[in-house]
Amino acid sequence: MTTDALLTHDTAHAAERLGRGSVRVEERDLSYQGFAYTCRVVHPVAALTEPVLVLGGSAQDRNSWTRHERWLGAVAQVITVDLPGYGTADFLPSRYGVDFLADAARHMLDELGVRRVNLVGACYGGAVGVRLAQHHPSLIARLLLVGMTTHVTAEYTASMKRWAEMIERGETSAVARELADGFVSPLGAGRVRRHAAMARLVHQQIIGQSPEQRRRSTEHNTRMLRHEWFRPEPVPAVPSLVVTGEYDTLTTPAMGREVARQLPLARFLTIEETDHLAPMERIADFADLLVRFCTDASLDALPYCGAAETYGTSLTRR
């Protein structure tokens, strides 16, 4: 049996219930400050914890997490969203940054009547999620960040500028190769589940972009260059978990540990045999981890994770 199948009895049973069509799914079209956007809401029969709000990376949309809903949707309402500038939402000029996106997420929760959430932020969604937690701490019941860093490296900043120039010259294939190489770990770094498939997926996703999608990607990169990624402001003292792929070379385990150090109190875990695309490389295991965290189940001795480490500002002040 692979570790992808090593789920707890409770989690596996919940996933089976969801698979029998026990939930209702709806989409809501909303507008914030003149920008239209859409959210997806999975309603469970009986929630065991606060709603799970997933803010995905810049290359993801509200449908990128549907395979995880098999587990998450059995224990909680699941909310995914195309915030302005992403997915099918309206184009968002780069003068609007992380603060605006965090406030748009807050607007969505207000419209849905959701008072508190288990917030899951992946990569750029982690930056938006942390800002949401900083600006609206009462909304956050638990905070989980995956593939997150406190800063965009100088190397990646230089790459974004170069990619913009290459796209203008029509060198899309070369950009796709570079991005695929960046999002998956280099060969020889260590065993990574679905490594070749993920590399192909990233490459094909970029090659297949429409002119409008390329325009949005370029605007996103400009947004990252213009606005502060991580701001050293207070984060609510809620249960927090920072997760990184074992062989993530884009947001490395060292970067994940630094994120955990900036939170009041956080556990840090690596997901074994994964890289930056850990949520997609081990879908069942990542979903199991989310369910465990959001229901306060044990995170000890999980077969797909390294040993938990503990960090936080509350520890360094002692």
Cα–Cα distances (Å) from 137 to 10, 71, 119, 147, in that order, read 30, 26, 11, 22
Asked if the structure places residue 10 within a domain, the reply is yes
The enclosing domain of 130 has a CATH number of 3.40.50.1820
Q: Can you list the residues of the chain whose pLDDT is less than 50?
A: 1-20
In the sheet that holds 24-32, the strands lie side by side as 24-32, 35-43, 78-82, 52-55, 117-122, 140-146, 240-245, 266-271, 309-311
pTM of the model: 0.91
Q: Give residue 1's pLDDT.
A: 25
Q: Give residue 316's pLDDT.
A: 65
- The CA distance from 81 to 63, in Å, is 8
Asked if the structure places residue 22 within a domain, the reply is yes
Structural domain total, the chain: 1
Cα–Cα distances (Å) from 225 to 101, 129, 161, 289, in that order, read 15, 18, 9, 32
Q: Give residue 183's pLDDT.
A: 87
Asked if the structure places residue 176 within a domain, the reply is no
Asked if the structure places residue 282 within a domain, the reply is yes
Asked if the structure places residue 162 within a domain, the reply is no
Cβ contact 168:141 at 8 Å? no
Owning domain of residue 55: 3-151+229-316
Asked if the structure places residue 60 within a domain, the reply is yes
Asked if the structure places residue 157 within a domain, the reply is no
Asked if the structure places residue 177 within a domain, the reply is no
